[in-house]
Structure 1
Amino acid sequence: MYVIGKSRANKSKRTVLKGAILIVLAVIAMSCEKRESSEILVDEAIYQDYLVSYDLSAKKTSAAASLRDKKGVRLELNRTGERILFNKKEPNQAKSLSSSLLGAFAAAITDYEYVWKVGQLIDGEFTYVKNKSRSFRNTISLKEIETIQIPVDFKEVKLDGSTVLKWEGASVGKKENVSISFVQKDNVNGGGTGTVSLEGAKELRLNGLLIKGLKKGKTTVILTRRKELTGIAQSDGKQNNGRRIVEVVVSKEIYVK
């Protein structure tokens, strides 16, 4: 039997780690890349990318949108007559998005160009006006996703990694995932994000890197159910040239022990 030497094994690990870091950096660079719409051909088909996030705890809605070229690069609309609207309203600045809508905020600053916030739970219609003669309307509704809740008796997370959160609501469905994260005051390095996408799953184990860095005391746990909906109704170019994502977010203050 051939045994890999210790130095060779360590070198292999470093190579894998370096590769993983490069992949992450490439994804970040791609999500940050954008160009002006005037740089592409007038008749190029535009990919419509929409997200609506419902904060069930705060009773607020956040929306985000990106229009993309054929390579997936985000477009800043700068041609005369071009517009993107949510419920007939112009977008807000990204910095004005409510920090309580953590899922949508993270998406808005990494992968979406335009954002909106609404102080109530409301169904949304995106309107992309490409030019004077062509516009596209697509909707996202709270009814298109199952709700989710943190149980009343879920009051603490243990640093020994033994805590299991069994949420209230449906199990993970097709094209869905459920994720959890923590926000702890004066502790920016506290906790990570855990996600389960296995269809039928109904719980999350709170251990490992997910809770690493948390300190004993109060923390806010944020639970998000995200779903990619089927196609878009009005598409530019080929059928379903776009995507619609909807998510519901709940949060609760608990204790770390």
Structure 2
Amino acid sequence: MKKLIYIICILLTGMWVSCSSEESSSLNSNVPFYQSLDVEYYVSKNKTKASANFNKYNALGDNIQLTGISSIKFNNDKPNYVNIAPFFYTYSFNGLDDITFRFTRNRNEVYINTVSIKDIEPIDFPAGFNDIDVNKKVDFRWIGSPVGKKEEVQIRIVTAEGEYNFYDDTVGDDFIRLALPKSVDKGDVTVSLTRIRKMALKEAESAGGEIKVSYIRDKDIRLR
């Protein structure tokens, strides 16, 4: 049973990394693009964030900025482009609708991939989850199915001093053990509960790619 914890300070999470990239119009047409597509459904907020990135040959290849004929659209909208990892292309939507990524490599190559909230099992907080005793280890059991194949469940607790992140990617597990340091600041905090599923692309070049879809719920509780 794999239950890990890691702590990330707000100062660290706030440091985005600027990355170099190559323009697609300068690349040979036989260089395949690896697609990384990401959709986050913020169920509690009724909002959706879509993101995409492109790399040469594989996930570890050089980043690519789509220029010239090449382009990407999210539900027919042109996304924002910022040269910052992990996703150069992002766009936010109201509601929890399907997201269709339309990647045009050239006039004769168009790849379409659609993501739906139905692609991932829902997850929710159990009734009565209103506080955490920092002096005890808490076995948090979510409402919803256990961890499935190519899935991960995460819990993020945001306090005034930083973030505490817990995750479980062991198939069949249905709880995460929360163990906060006794020195943590007590009081009101926000907890995010996320189920993440990784899926194969429906349409892609030979380099392939990956779709990641997340189902996210937030709740304000109290540390005591």
**Which sections of structure 1, spanning at least 5 residues, go unmatched?**
1-27, 95-107
Q: 1:194 aligns with which of 162, 166, 177?
A: 166
C-alpha separation in 2, matches of 1:202 and 1:31: 37
Residue 248 of structure 1 corresponds to 215
Instruction: Rate the CA distance shift 1:62–1:203 in 2: closer, same or farther, 3 A.
Output: same
Question: What secondary structure sits across from 2:80 in the alignment?
Answer: coil
Name the CA distance, whole Å, in 1 between partners of 2:84 and 2:119.
25
The within-5 A match list for 1:1-257 is 32-70=19-57, 71-78=60-67, 80-92=68-80, 110-184=85-159, 187=160, 189-208=161-180, 214-229=184-199, 231-237=200-206, 241-257=208-224
Alignment partner of 1:57: what SS?
helix
Compute the displacement of 1:73 (Å).
2.3
Change (3 A) 1:109 1:255: farther
Distance 2:93 2:166 in 1: 27
Q: Higher relative contact order at CA 8 Å, sep ≥6: structure 1 or structure 2? A: 2
Task: Give the CA deviation at 1:84.
Answer: 0.5
The CA distance in 1 between the partners of 2:27 and 2:40, in whole Å, is 30
Deviation at 1:172, TM superposition (A): 0.3
Alignment: residue pair count: 208
Deviation, 1:155, is 0.6
* TM-score after normalising by structure 2: 0.85
Higher strand share: 2
Which has the greater radius of gyration? 1
Change (3 A) 1:137 1:52: same
Amino acid at match of 1:234: E
| Inter-CA distance 132–200: structure 2 relative to 1 (3 Å threshold) | same
RMSD: 2.3
1:244/1:171 Cα in 2 relative to 1: closer, same or farther (>3 Å)?
Answer: same
Q: Distance in 1 between matches of 2:195 and 2:183?
A: 24
